[in-house]
Structure 1
Amino acid sequence: MAIEKERACFNAYVQGFDLEQDQNRLKVIHTMHVVKIMQQIGRFLNLSDREMEVAETIALFHDIGRFEQFKRYNTFVDHLSVDHADLGKEILERSDFLDRFSGKEQQQILMAIQFHNKYELVPMDEKTIQYAKMIRDADKCDILRVFAFEPIESTTSTSYESIQNDVVSEEIEAMIHNHQCIDKTKRKTGLDIWMTFLGFFFDVNYPITMRIMKKQGYYRLPFDRIRFRRAQKQVDSILSEIENYIARNS
């Protein structure tokens, strides 16, 4: 196993947290899914064996900050606590988890992790930005699974009952139709939060990612489970826009 040492470090680290708590347990599951998707993207990009080790390590540690975040603040909401990617970078810098890698590779790993959740990437060298784009894509693929199958209250701070009577605010709807990722600071309603997941499609970097998302079909499931009392036409129009976008870009 190429990253056996790093997996052992990850497993030992998370054992320091309460894995009986759903939040921590589900983050471990999410991490393993992201590693597998990262491997798919890496094969698509024809990464070398060493580059694949770097990519898999980024995926393995991309959410390492989540465990300490939840322990300290009892939430995964960054703006109510701490940026989990920045915290993850700090944790890794204080550890010996990356010692097997060169100094340059360590910086690539740290940068990719730090910026995996940011609204936009900053300038980076060509290889680092490739890794950053890969983890952003892989993470989004599995967040859609989480959105579809994990308790909606814990993943979105909404409920099916409240969403039934909600609407998409005008500014957020415009972002979707303009093919923009959703700016979280602009969200006003619970349904705006749901739109964030649909906005993922406008920040996909590789065709393989779009194909994975399309095959999964997870993005539709929460919307198909309920009938919206006030926003059904609005939601139908947005889903149609998303599916047309997917068809043109996959």
Structure 2
Amino acid sequence: MSEAVPLPDLAPLRDWFTSYCNSFRTPDREVQRNFDLKEEHTRNVCRDALLIAQGMGPRFEMLAEIAALCHDLGRFPQFRDHHTFKDSDSLNHAHLSAQLMKQHQLLEFLPGEERACIEIAVRMHNAFQVPDGLPAVTTDLLRLLRDADKLDIWRVFIEYFNAPADQRASGAGLGFPDLPGCSAEPLAAVTAGKMVQLSTLKSLNDFKLLQVSWIYDINYPATLRLIRERSVLERFRAMLPQDGEVLDVMAQVGRYLERRLRESAHFPQQ
């Protein structure tokens, strides 16, 4: 990718996304609340992707915005057709997003190498881990998209758990029951410094722990700084059971974040 190539105008793509969202509008307020959730999420991921990409070159910043704008296209037909955002109960929304990009020929204004880079990033953004063997720029873009996505998913769930029940977007909780306490398996994973597997969850509290464990999958120093600035861990701590084991786990995760921040101050381009 050459920085000498003129940057394309992304206004038509942004306008297309607005029209795409409007095409799903419905008088059903409960369903529309879920569509609105995903439209706002996408716009925030675009914002955060650009924040993280600052200083990485205008061409890469452009790719970051395009990938962010397209990453959740599949969420809209997913909820329309299956009434859930839980991929295991419906379909892989990231794969569908990549298919929709091709179907609507959204990236035809880009060189083939850049199209492939964005398509892989969108298709793989919800994978449990970043796969090995991808081209360097694709890996960088995929990691950035995953970081930006996590930043706003945290906001979505903090707002979800703090909103009155009748104002919550129903799909956001993925259908987990609101039970007391946390299960042993998710707690053990976070304690071990590992990401929690979705298949081990039994409750909303477990789902909160899964999101806390995403801290172990953050890639860029700018993302780490935004996590601290937005008090993400503190807000999740306040929403979790206030028992000793959970508080110990949250303290451990907080120390991990601070250590990563100290390390990134010495190696800012990691």
1:168 aligns to what?
183
Question: Pick from 102, 118, 121: which aligns with 1:93?
Answer: 102
2:81 aligns to what?
72
2:246 aligns to what?
235
One-letter code aligned to 2:225: R
1:49 aligns to what?
58
Question: Pick from 127, 131, 139: which aligns with 2:137?
Answer: 127
| Aligned counterparts, 1:95-244, within 5 A | 95-122=104-131, 123-151=133-161, 154=170, 155-156=172-173, 157-158=175-176, 162-163=178-179, 165-169=180-184, 171-225=185-239, 228=241, 232-244=243-255
CA distance in 1 between partners of 2:46 and 2:111 (Å): 21
Q: What is the SS of the residue equivalent to 1:236?
A: helix
Structure 1: gaps (5+ residues):
none
2:19 aligns to what?
12
Q: Does 1:39 align with 2:59?
A: no
CA distance in 1 between partners of 2:57 and 2:237 (Å): 40
Structure 2: gaps (5+ residues):
1-7, 163-167, 262-270
Report how many residues are paired.
241
Does the aligned pair in 2 maintain the 1:34–1:59 contact within 8 Å?
yes
CA distance in 2 between partners of 1:148 and 1:158 (Å): 16
Q: What is the SS of the residue equivalent to 2:74?
A: helix
CA distance in 2 between partners of 1:221 and 1:57 (Å): 30
Shift of 1:167: 2.4
CA distance in 1 between partners of 2:182 and 2:196 (Å): 15
Does the aligned pair in 2 maintain the 1:166–1:190 contact within 8 Å?
no
CA distance in 2 between partners of 1:222 and 1:172 (Å): 15
Tell me the TM-score normalized by structure 2: 0.84
Does the aligned pair in 2 maintain the 1:168–1:234 contact within 8 Å?
no
Shift of 1:12: 1.5
**Percent of residue pairs identical:** 26
Does the aligned pair in 2 maintain the 1:57–1:109 contact within 8 Å?
yes
Q: What is the SS of the residue equivalent to 2:224?
A: helix
1:27 aligns to what?
38
213-222 or 105-114: which moved more? 213-222
CA distance in 2 between partners of 1:115 and 1:225 (Å): 30
One-letter code aligned to 2:38: K
Does the aligned pair in 2 maintain the 1:144–1:219 contact within 8 Å?
no
